[in-house]
Structure 1
């Protein structure tokens, strides 16, 4: 019985650990994107932003969403970060999400909170745009 409980506990812990592996350095994430061929998902948040927390808890932490984002490198940045002001100057509300390529080409942006269904819809559009850009750049 104890062995069964330990296996169950390990399984639950693995599920929680399987969330998004957030990066906090935009330059390092860009370098990783160049090396891996992946695109980036930039999540711009603010401290004490209830909609940012809701987006992370109700959408971005869902196992299905984590799997759907497998081709993206997730980056969390604070709205007052100088990198945000320089690289994403149009970000004025939180949460704001940018899907971009390693070449900094915009695939899609999301301004404000989206539920899981609408997030999938926008993610699909970002993936389609990434494919379109690949075809036109060759």
Structure 2
């Protein structure tokens, strides 16, 4: 009986898995405590690729599960939010991966499909 309850709770929790976006300073502080990598997504309104990442890629269970294991997310609008020094961009979306000391580990310019983005998350984690 307890196995059934455990399996059911895991299934239900995976149905509601999502990336929890945080403020930059909160993410850095939490990364220091939990030894996680901070991913900063730089985006803007009216960016079709940004919308694709938000609506498709970041809703994919495999991406969300991989992300939530080792990463913390920060979502910043280049026109409306303060962009920390060193987080440059040519276009949007741009993804910066930072360690707990705010040192940049990697960068992605542009979007990706769910499988490729999940693979990139694994690569960033493996290399750091």
TM-score of the two chains, using structure 1 as the length reference: 0.75
In the alignment, structure 1 residue 127 sits paired with structure 2 residue 125: yes
Structure 1 vs Structure 2 CA RMSD: 2.1
SS in 1 for 2:18: coil
In the alignment, structure 1 residue 28 sits paired with structure 2 residue 26: yes
Higher helix share: 1
2:49 matched residue in structure 1: 51
Give the Cα separation in 1 of the matches to 2:38 and 2:118: 16
2:95 matched residue in structure 1: 97
TM-score of the two chains, using structure 2 as the length reference: 0.80
Give the Cα separation in 2 of the matches to 1:60 and 1:112: 14
Bigger relative CO (Cα 8 Å, ≥ 6 apart): 2
From the CA coordinates, give the structure whose radius of gyration is larger: 1
2:85 matched residue in structure 1: 86
Corresponding residue pairs, total: 117
- List 4+ stretches of structure 1 deviating above 3 A: 11-14
Change (3 A) 1:64 1:14: closer
